[in-house]
Each structure stands twice: as C-alpha cells, then as structure tokens.
Amino acid sequence: MDSHGQYGRRVGWTVVGTGIGPLLLAATREGLVNVVFHATGPVRDRALGRLASRLGAEPVEAPGSPLLAEAVRQVEAYFAGARRGFDLPLDWSLISGFNREVLRKLAAEVPYGSVVGYGDLAGRAGQPGAAQAVGTAMGANPLPVVVPCHRVVESHGGIGGFGGGLETKRKLLALEGVLPEPLF
C-alpha cells in the first residue's frame, strides 16, 4: 500500500548506454516491463509519463535495484557480443491478446543470429495469414531488444519496419551476424 492508502505498482527505471544509443529499462516487481530506444531528455520523459499513466505508479529511478542491475549487466553483455539471449523475468502487462502471444512465440522460437518473416511468425502463432497483425504486434512490443522484434523481416527479403528506426534494426542484425557490418 502506498502513502495514500492505494495499492499501486512499484516501477523502477534506469538508462543504459549501448551501441545503438541509450536504452531506458523499466521494471516492476514482476519483471522487466519496458525498454525504450533513444532514451534521452524528452523521449525518456514521455516514456516515463506513459508508464505512470498505464501502470498507475510514478516510475522511480532505481539503477541499484537487483532486477535492473541484472538487466543492465545482460544488456551490456549482449552489446559486447558476450551474450546471445536474455534470462530476465518479464512483466507482460503492457501488452495482451494476439500481440502478447506472438511476442512470446518470437522470444521462445527465434534465436540469436536468425530471422523470421512476418507471415511465418503469424503461422507459428496459429494465425496463418495474419502477417499484418504480426507487424502491428512488433510495433507494439514494449520490450524491444530483449524480446527481439528486430529479428522479424519481410518474406521477400526486405528488412521491414522498426520502432527504433531502420538504422537501429540494421545495427542489431549486424551485431547478431545476420547482416554485414556497415562499411562506414
């Protein structure tokens, strides 16, 4: 119970520097709940405001919390090429229905260094023909990088869209060896 006699969720956050720019990591008691790209100034502040609104609790900067400290360690190891996946508890409360189902399928079945087409992922989630809905789910992913929506590409060989920007998607795929490193 909080100081106003209300049952609220505690939300902690921190920012970690990476090869694709600063990432905001936010967590509840249940697990990592949000990862936000380009998390400086206004972007960070808007993300924290959205979290407060959606979760009913004002996020508190908490880089020393055990869950966030472990998340930072794993993110840094991933970007250093020393980690290929994440072993963190996840709080899926920001997403539901088909979007949650397809993101869980993605996290469980599309490993580091591989890609999957939107349509193929729709089929894996039991909804063949729902490629556009998969695209919507990827755009709604509250946990990018950790739940690797960057690994979802167009079936005809295109890179597809990405909430963090196409250059960020290219860098993540290059880090995982799917695309060649940019020449300059």
Residues 161, 70: Cα–Cα separation, whole Å: 29
Given a contact cutoff of 8 angstroms between Cβ atoms, the answer to whether 151 and 115 are in contact is yes
Q: Which of 53, 60, 50 is nearest to 14 (CA)?
A: 60
Q: Which of 90, 101, 89 is nearest to 140 (CA)?
A: 101
User: Maximum CA pair distance of the chain?
Assistant: 57
Taking residue 146's Cβ as centre, other Cβ atoms within 10 Å add up to 22
- Selecting among 149, 152, 153, 173, the annotated active-site residue is 149
Residues 168, 35: Cα–Cα separation, whole Å: 14
Q: Which of 62, 34, 38 is nearest to 48 (CA)?
A: 34
Buried b (16+ CB within 10 A) or exposed e, 58-93: ebeebeebebbebbbebbeebbeeeeeebebebbbb
Active site residue 149: yes
Q: Which residues are catalytic?
A: 149
